Structure 1
Amino acid sequence: MLRLFSLCIIVAFGCSSESANDSTQILTGADQTARYVSLIKGKRVGLTVNHSSQIADTHLTDTLLELGIDIAKVFTPEHGFTGTVSDGAKVEYDSSQASYTLISLYGKNKKPTSEQLDNLDVMVFDIQDVGARFYTYISTMYYVMEACAKNNIPLIILDRPNPNGSYVDGPVLDTAFSSFVGIAPIPLVHGMTIGELAQMFNGEGWLNDGVKCDLNVITIANWNHSKPYSVPIKPSPNLPNDLSISLYPSLCLFEGTIMSVGRGTEHAFQQIGHPEYPEAQHAFTPASREGAKWPPYEDLICYGRSWIGQEPTYVFSLQPLIDAYQKMDRGDFFNDYFKRLAGTDQLRKQIESGMTEDQIRESWENELDQFKQLRAKYLLYK
């Protein structure tokens, strides 16, 4: 799986940080090994990583092992180490072939236990995020920070660009609806990197019991929030390209409805549909496949709307959701999961009452402005 994307990564990153001469080349925190290897050399290291934790065409674990780093344990988020496990599916590991212990931080074990952290001297976190509150990698980071703080283990974040990092939008989470798909009171599109978010979690005292993590962020070189970033390896099984990543904040809300977002097809999060959708201009048939086992409406023709082939536009829009709700015209359109994705119970009520997108946006404007002011304190890339 990791080798499958190596050519894309080589094109995107070129040479390693030690040999890069282009001062405009974006270098992730992981690329810049000289900035953090000295911090972990001679220590028992834990890594929180997945398939996206790459330096050029080599996984971070392999790079560090070649540099003589003692990797004792590797922790992985939703979708597992290879990034191929379906969303929500249990991750299991056989570590007999690895020199380190593999531990899943998903399902019942979302936060490393004291026993799992035993004998570790330092933790390194390196995972590609996409900038939406309900994308669970930031929730995994939150729990890793909390566990490290309570066990006195320093945490090093190897930062990566946020492809949706150029804007902030959507409702701010009401903490009454906190969950693994909404871990902190931030907007649906937060416009921050994982390193910036980690600083916010620490600085605002949002970790459980107000604990503070001993945090060190290895910043990205030659990137800022206005600079486009094409993710070189798909960050999860159903975000296959830049278009799906750009649409994800808007279309993921459909996962709290009766609609399909195209899981089980080659174009997940680039189309929406339902077997009873009243318009038949676009159709697709979900099928069980790697990364999308037993998708909604498996083997049934779904009719709906497509964005396939369009250029990515990095904006958040409620209009597709409002349009689909009005076209379907049925009382079971939303399910209970929707309020957790939205981070509020108000959005469903607003759509059902017939409010326009502009009217809905006005309702979250003040909280969004307050967040933007708070966010400014933690930005590392102006």
Structure 2
Amino acid sequence: MQFRSPYEHSVKDLLNTKSELRAEGKYQAVYLGLIENKMIEHRIKSAAQLGVGACVSSLLAQYQTSLFLDYKDLWRSTYLDMREQITSRGSLGFRYASELVTLVHKFLSETEASDFPGRFCDNIQKILDALVRAKNTLNFYSASVISLYEELALSLILLIWPHEFLIPKSWKLLYLERWERKHWSPSVLECFWYQRYLVKVCLSFCEMVINIERTSTIETALAERSVTLILVCLINLEAFYPRPQGYAQLWWKSQEVFCQDRLSTSRIQSPGADGLIGRLATTFREYSGNDSIILVRGRRFERISDSFAGFQLEGTGISVVKSSPIFEEERHLWEQSMDQETRRLNAAYILTSFWKLNGPRVLKRMRERRREERMRVERIREERRREERIREERRREERIREERRREERRREERRREERRR
């Protein structure tokens, strides 16, 4: 059970189906059949028999469905019991899929206050690395892989813009509840680091889309959903100043995506938020109400006009939604982790964030100090050379005077000698 594209259906349809399956009634037997151990085993075995890319997509979709229908623990228990047996048969697809599912589970599970930023960012990097390894086999649009990238992006957008951010409503319904109650309180330094990781996520996704577009795919709906993901990342990054490291590279990579013929996406000439938001609003008007763009805003910005990054939202079809009070009230300063690895990662990421923000200023000051030190040393050397010249001049004058005295004594000696004669 997956959301594919607002061209095909609404997330609300999935939520209604979920409610019917979980409620007591005629569909309860269907739900119990879905989560029955043998049925889970059958689906996992079927996925293991597919090609590498299809296996990765299928197993990830099964894990995401278990999250959506609230039987994750049961699914993972069955999966862990079967993993070693299937892997020992030499299934390359299952090995890739198993690695990715394990990393995604860690990403969703290790979200205590002490896991940020170190372990959280480390888990994202490991997921991106795993997707790179499976890149050549994921040569088709996969709803489960797109959903993974969407959730990675949303988790980072929440850290960058904790009180105001622009996302599709489908993201709010599918992922936000899992993330809005996390205990985050990022500093300005850490926000720069999270921006950099959002750039990494979007760059990775752009590379995947470009790779897919080289094939003969005809998945128009999922392709348009992919363009939406890139636009949402660009808009939320565009609104932050100064721009993160790698943003220019991401912008040109996104243009490479938008220029793909089969995407039917006109090139966005202006890098401003207005051009991006306008393009996004135009796209969502074609979804016949199945999805929309929303501005999620906290109480801190309640009195601000309906605008984002200076772009007026009136007439665009973008609505403003208030964030949950719990979303803001439960935020607090990070706790000190007792795990040494987490503490090491946190320290590394915070130091890197510090150097990203303060590095140019510190390096400039260091260069100025080195220049001042060189000038000071040069002045000291010049002073010493001048003093040495003075001393040398004095010694020369002393030698001349001494030579004159000697000459005078010799003359005096000669005169005396002449008198005696």
TM bucket, shorter chain: 0.3 to 0.5
- TM-score, normalised on structure 2? 0.30
- TM-score, normalised on structure 1? 0.33
Give 1 or 2 for the bigger CA radius of gyration: 2
Whose helix fraction is larger, Structure 1's or Structure 2's? 2
Whose strand fraction is larger, Structure 1's or Structure 2's? 1
